């Protein structure tokens, strides 16, 4: 059941075709452009909703119904002003290793799949294409327009027959496809032209426009390039969007964390987030990161951990594997030593499990490691289970009501939602650090000044509006509307 409370009647404005943001590659900015369009359509009086048939990410979110979707679609739903729903991302793959992923269908895990077997899909008893198309149809019956997001590159022709998310999905939806290319990485002419020319004649007709993303420098220098690209591709360039630095939209891909391994800073509270190999839900730290009192960075360097004021063990898709690696690389000992010296240690979800006495996986849910001792900082024992807990929750902290969500496989022998001992906090709650009472508690003995940090929900709303303004400034939105209102 949808919880949006929205009336089912059509918008007074004209009905728009679905629009798909497809990419010349991964990390070209499809998710952010999709979020911008969701907010723009909302501002213009439509009732948009995001959709990505298949997502691969460790950064996920719990819907109001207690089901799981990719974080990017939850962000896009926020931009559209509606609650997220599993129909917005019916198929989620959560990598567990280089070769296997947990498959989450319609918000619930259905098991682990080997990548080769999954992409062959010949022996599966589940018709994934039927499932994702049904989810789109349900969504399209309630919202207009649907802002669709492709995955990776649309020119992986070796995977065309099994592709659920790019041009085959656009065909089912009757979507107009806008190709997004990243000029920052170079080779934008080849990647845009090649992505179009490698499509079948039928699919090539679906591509109605191009957006060049992440431009740096003087826009006038690309005017001739824009004209040339339109000429060789036969498709209009709807806009060239500059790189931005002052707009904050939650990111889904962990590649961005490589840019956040910064040095320690004098005069600020230095917070080290331990960089795990299978780190998940790193958006947990966005609020702390923008606090002017804080210098937050990601590291697996023991000397950085030793010098930090606060250490955070984040969530992970593979608790035991990451726990073993922490012992191998010396980070476990560094965290224990820092705690012994009186520094605050915080564990969230998988990080919380690692801070306990033991972690066991008797049924091999995560892999071949059956049991490991934890770091011993909290009095809990955890057993990894097949059943996944997924829910949105409210909780009390320091006498004030807070909110967050849980997504975890594993049961710990405690009923406490937040375990607080001397210099150590553990919780399963993602979004824990988005709450002002929690941040104030963490920083009260460290920060020199008190500051008023904007409510996180209000902050995000402001950022979606800024993103929409940015994209409106550089993308021909009237031309996009003409495309989405066309007859062909």
Is residue 303 located within the same domain as residue 204? no
Is residue 70 located within the same domain as residue 180? yes
CB-neighbour burial class of residue 362 (10 A; exposed 0-12, middle 13-18, buried 19+)? exposed
Is residue 120 located within the same domain as residue 158? yes
Q: How far apart are CA 303 and CA 263, in angstroms?
A: 11
- Asked, for residue 351, whether it belongs to a domain, the answer is yes
Is residue 92 located within the same domain as residue 162? yes
Residues 187-212 have a mean pLDDT of 96
**Overall domain count for the chain:** 2
Q: How far apart are CA 166 and CA 154, in angstroms?
A: 6
Let me know: does 39 contact 48? Beta carbons within 8 Å.
Answer: no
Is residue 390 located within the same domain as residue 434? yes
Let me know: does 20 contact 175? Beta carbons within 8 Å.
Answer: yes
CATH number for the domain harbouring residue 138: 3.40.50.300
Q: What is the pLDDT of residues 419-456, one digit of tens each?
A: 999 899 999 999 999 999 999 999 988 877 777 667 88
- Asked, for residue 453, whether it belongs to a domain, the answer is no
Expressed in percent and rounded to 5, the helix, strand and coil fractions of the chain are 35, 30, 35
User: Which of the four pLDDT bands, split at 50, 70 and 90, describes residue 254?
Assistant: low
Going across the sheet that includes 54-56, the strands are: 54-56, 91-95, 100-105, 108-114
Q: Has residue 311 got a pLDDT over 80?
A: yes
The residues that bridge with 93 in the sheet, in sequence order, are 56, 103
Active-site position among 38, 233, 331, 349: 349
Percentage of the chain beyond pLDDT 70 is 91
- Asked, for residue 122, whether it belongs to a domain, the answer is yes
Predicted TM-score (pTM) of this structure? 0.88
CATH number for the domain harbouring residue 437: 3.40.50.880
- Scored b (16 or more CB within 10 A) or e, 385-404 reads eeebebebbebebeeeebeb
Tokens of 274: 């331990």
Residues 407-420 have a mean pLDDT of 93
Per-residue pLDDT at 207: 97
Q: Has residue 6 got a pLDDT over 50?
A: no
User: Which of the four pLDDT bands, split at 50, 70 and 90, describes residue 265?
Assistant: confident
User: Which of the four pLDDT bands, split at 50, 70 and 90, describes residue 221?
Assistant: confident
Is residue 227 located within the same domain as residue 353? no
Let me know: does 282 contact 307? Beta carbons within 8 Å.
Answer: no
Residue 349 annotated to the active site? yes
Closest CA to 196 of 237, 165, 257, 225: 237
Per-residue pLDDT at 1: 39
Range of the domain at 415: 268-447
More confident residue, 363 or 98: 363
Please work out, in degrees rounded to the nearest 5, the angle formed at the alpha carbon of residue 72 by the alpha carbons of 67 and 78.
80
Q: What is the pLDDT of residues 116-161, one digit of tens each?
A: 666 565 556 689 999 999 999 999 999 999 999 999 999 998 888 8
- Asked, for residue 1, whether it belongs to a domain, the answer is no
Per-residue pLDDT at 5: 39
- Asked, for residue 457, whether it belongs to a domain, the answer is no
Active-site position among 17, 85, 278, 430: 430
Q: Has residue 257 got a pLDDT over 70?
A: no
Is residue 304 located within the same domain as residue 280? yes
Is residue 217 located within the same domain as residue 276? no
């Amino acid at each position: 059941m949808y919880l949006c409370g929205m009336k089912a009647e059509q918008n007074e404005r004209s009905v728009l075709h679905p629009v798909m943001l497809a990419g010349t590659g991964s990390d070209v900015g499809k998710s952010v452009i999709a979020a911008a369009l969701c907010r723009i359509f909302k501002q213009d009086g439509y009732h948009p909703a995001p959709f990505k048939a298949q997502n691969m990410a460790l950064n996920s979110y719990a819907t109001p119904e207690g089901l799981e979707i990719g974080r990017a679609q939850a962000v896009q739903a926020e931009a559209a002003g509606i609650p997220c729903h599993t129909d917005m991302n019916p198929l989620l793959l959560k990598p567990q290793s280089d070769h296997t992923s947990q498959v989450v269908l319609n918000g619930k895990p259905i098991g682990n799949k080997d990548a080769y077997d999954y992409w062959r899909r010949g022996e599966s008893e589940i018709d994934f294409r039927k499932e994702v198309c049904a989810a789109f149809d349900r969504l399209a019956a309630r919202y207009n327009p649907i802002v669709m997001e492709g995955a990776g590159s649309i020119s992986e022709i070796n995977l065309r027959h099994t592709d659920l998310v790019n041009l085959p999905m656009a065909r089912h939806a009757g979507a107009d496809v806008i190709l997004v290319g990243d000029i920052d990485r170079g080779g934008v002419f080849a990647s845009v032209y090649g992505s179009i020319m490698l499509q079948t004649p039928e699919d090539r007709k679906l591509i109605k426009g191009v957006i060049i993303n992440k431009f740096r420098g003087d826009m006038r220098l690309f005017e001739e390039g824009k004209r040339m690209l339109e000429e060789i591709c036969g498709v209009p360039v709807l806009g060239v969007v500059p790189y931005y630095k002052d707009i904050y939209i939650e990111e889904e891909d962990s590649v961005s964390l490589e840019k956040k391994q910064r040095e320690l800073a004098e005069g600020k509270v230095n917070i080290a987030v331990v960089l795990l190999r299978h780190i998940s839900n790193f958006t947990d730290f966005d609020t702390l990161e923008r606090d002017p009192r804080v210098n937050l960075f990601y590291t697996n360097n023991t000397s950085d951990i030793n010098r930090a004021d606060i250490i955070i063990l984040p969530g992970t898709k593979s608790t035991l594997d990451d726990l073993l690696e922490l012992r191998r690389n010396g980070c476990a000992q560094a965290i224990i030593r820092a705690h012994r010296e009186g520094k605050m240690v915080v564990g969230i979800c998988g990080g919380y499990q690692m801070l306990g006495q033991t972690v066991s996986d008797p049924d091999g849910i995560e892999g071949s490691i059956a049991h490991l001792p934890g770091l011993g900082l909290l009095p809990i024992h955890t057993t990894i289970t097949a059943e996944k807990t997924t829910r949105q929750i409210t909780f009390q902290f320091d006498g004030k009501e807070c909110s967050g969500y849980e997504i975890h496989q594993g049961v710990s022998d405690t009923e406490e939602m937040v375990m607080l001992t001397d210099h150590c906090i553990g919780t399963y709650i993602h979004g824990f650090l988005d709450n002002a009472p929690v941040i104030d508690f963490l920083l009260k003995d460290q920060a020199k000044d008190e500051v008023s940090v904007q409510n996180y929900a209000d902050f995000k709303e402001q950022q979606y509006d800024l993103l929409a303004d940015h994209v409106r400034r550089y993308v021909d939105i009237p031309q996009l509307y003409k495309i989405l209102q066309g007859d062909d």
